[in-house]
């Protein structure tokens, strides 16, 4: 499996934040720190980016993505003791609803940074959905 260079860089920035702060802070603190690290790394991103949600081709609402990186990776942050299946399903739904090829779910609340790469079924047919 070929690793996506951009998600690798994002995860590296997240690891730096987690190694510096550790766990135990609110999600918004990690979000602000990750923005600093992404900027320092020269990575193009938007924070709290409003995304349209579609149902059967019709716009049904909006939701803000924690980060959209380089207009191609949606990043969802958590600050939980552990990720659960519901969090992975939520991130997977966001990737599909926003029509991105790939997403990252980052959890800063555990003792070590947890991360999952999530792929859009429609854009990656036949590939595993989570790595």
Q: Give pLDDT, residue 114.
A: 96
Task: Give the residue among 73, 75, 63 at the shortest CA–CA distance from 31.
Answer: 75
SS3 for 18? Answer: helix
pLDDT tier, 3 (very low <50, low <70, confident <90, very high otherwise) = low
Does some domain include residue 125?
no
Task: Give the residue among 98, 96, 104 at the shortest CA–CA distance from 125.
Answer: 96
Enclosing domain of residue 46: 5-119
Chain segment 88-125, per-residue pLDDT in tens: 999 998 898 888 999 999 999 999 999 999 998 776 55
Other CB atoms closer than 10 Å to residue 4's CB: what's the count?
18
- Check whether 127 has a pLDDT greater than 90: no
* Span between the terminal Cα atoms of the chain, in Å: 10
Question: How many whole angstroms separate alpha carbon 19 and alpha carbon 106?
Answer: 14
The total domain count for the chain is: 1
Question: How many whole angstroms separate alpha carbon 5 and alpha carbon 32?
Answer: 22
Does some domain include residue 93?
yes
Tell me which of 80 and 122 has the higher pLDDT: 80
Does some domain include residue 94?
yes
Q: Give pLDDT, residue 1.
A: 36
CATH number at residue 58: 3.90.320.10
Does some domain include residue 109?
yes
SS3 for 13? Answer: helix
- Check whether 81 has a pLDDT greater than 90: yes
Chain segment 23-52, per-residue pLDDT in tens: 999 999 999 999 999 999 999 999 999 988
């Amino acid at each position: 499996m070929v690793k996506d260079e951009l998600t690798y860089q994002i995860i590296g920035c997240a690891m730096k934040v987690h190694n510096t702060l550790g766990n135990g802070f609110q999600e918004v603190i990690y979000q602000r720190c990750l923005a600093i690290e992404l900027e320092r790394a020269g990575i193009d991103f938007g924070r709290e980016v409003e995304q349209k949600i579609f149902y059967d081709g019709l716009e049904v609402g909006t939701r803000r993505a924690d980060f959209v990186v380089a207009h191609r990776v949606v990043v969802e942050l958590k600050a939980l003791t552990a990720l659960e299946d519901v969090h992975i399903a939520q991130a997977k739904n966001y990737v599909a609803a926003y029509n991105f090829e790939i997403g990252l779910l980052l959890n800063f609340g555990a003792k070590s940074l947890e991360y999952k790469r999530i792929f859009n079924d429609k854009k990656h047919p036949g590939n595993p959905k989570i790595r």
